Structure 1
Amino acid sequence: MTEPVTQTCTRPQQLRREVFEAGDYYWVNGADWRPEAEREPRPRTLEELWEVELVHEAGTHSVLDVFVVLGPDDTPDYNTVELVTAEEALELLGTEKLTRAHVPDFDVFPRSRWVGRCAVLHDNEGKPQEIRFWGHSGD
């Protein structure tokens, strides 16, 4: 079983680029379970990464697996992220404006495998500061 992925950023595309460039993702064709001679170097581009069929099946166990942040009327599906609504935050954590102090309690929000969650985190004055992503991608 994989550990939950939790990453924070102020801009999702920036985070995706940083994670890819740092190699901070599971690379199925370089995994330890493969014989040494069959391990491949990491792809040079995101396009190359997604050309590998096993990546579609196993995922990268990172924000790279996220293609769409859902709108309020969208249905969660593979490779999507569902935003915690103000109503959900109020019901489960007692506030509409989440902060970093609430992050340890995010397990109260419902989630599924291959569908991430995200929440806007606010500063002490109630201004949005960052987006926190978490969930399980990959198997």
Structure 2
Amino acid sequence: MGASGWDYYMPYQEDRYLALVTLRTLVFEAGEFLWAVSGKMAVDDPGRPRTEDELWADETVRLKGTHSILDMYRVLADDETPNYGYLPYPYETFEEYMALVKEHGNPEYGIIVPVGEAEAYETAGDTKLTRDHVEAIVPLAKFPGIGRLAVLHDERDTPAELYFWGFSGD
């Protein structure tokens, strides 16, 4: 099937991990994830799991993921360096990617990497990102199984939303 892209907007809150936990709960309860056992979106499958423990108890799900934010479990701190497991930008094909993984180790899957000010400025030309910048920052989610997070500001430069995005799954 391949990895699937996902993105979500959440009202801004300072505690980004709490925002992730809240978002995961909302997505799970709404069934907005792939239930790998049936190959259907969970919302369309009456036999889907009713708890996250049931979801992750299934080996198929652990291998294929949910193609959603449910595949993410941790938000890195601003000063934390992500463990991509390889040098982050020098590949263009899957074969090159796999060679780098073999040489340098596996990435730390399931993490959310916040967009820092320098990266925001380099990518979008501004340190106070807004919804107008989303198209410019989407390519920052380069690695499967590693999500991104940006604080989006309103017209008064006040934090208004958290934007989570990435791609995950088999």
TM range (shorter): 0.7 to 0.9
Q: Which residue of 2 aligns with 1:124?
A: 155
State the SS of the aligned residue for 1:132.
Answer: strand
Which of 136, 156, 161 is the aligned partner of 1:105?
136
What are the equivalent positions in structure 2 for 1:1-139 lying under 5 Å apart? 1-10=2-11, 11-31=19-39, 41-71=47-77, 72-76=79-83, 77-109=108-140, 111-139=142-170
Deviation string for 1:58-91 (max 9, x for gaps)? 1101111110011222324101110000110011
**Matches of 2:109 and 2:4 in 1, distance apart?**
18
Give yes or no for contact 2:123–2:136 (8 Å, CA) kept in 1.
no
Unpaired segments ≥5 residues, structure 2: 12-18, 84-107
- How many pairs were matched up? 133
Give yes or no for contact 2:141–2:147 (8 Å, CA) kept in 1.
no
Give yes or no for contact 2:111–2:145 (8 Å, CA) kept in 1.
yes
The one-letter code of the counterpart of 2:159 is P
The one-letter code of the counterpart of 1:105 is A
The alignment yields a C-alpha RMSD, in angstroms, of 1.8
Which of structure 1's runs of 4+ aligned residues deviate more than 3 A?
none
Query: What's the offset of the Cα at 1:92?
Result: 1.4
Query: What's the offset of the Cα at 1:12?
Result: 2.2
Deviation string for 1:21-70 (max 9, x for gaps)? 110000001216xxxxxx88111111111111111111101111110011
**Matches of 1:22 and 1:113 in 2, distance apart?**
24
Unpaired segments ≥5 residues, structure 1: 33-38
**Matches of 2:165 and 2:136 in 1, distance apart?**
12
State the SS of the aligned residue for 2:27.
Answer: helix
State the SS of the aligned residue for 1:136.
Answer: strand
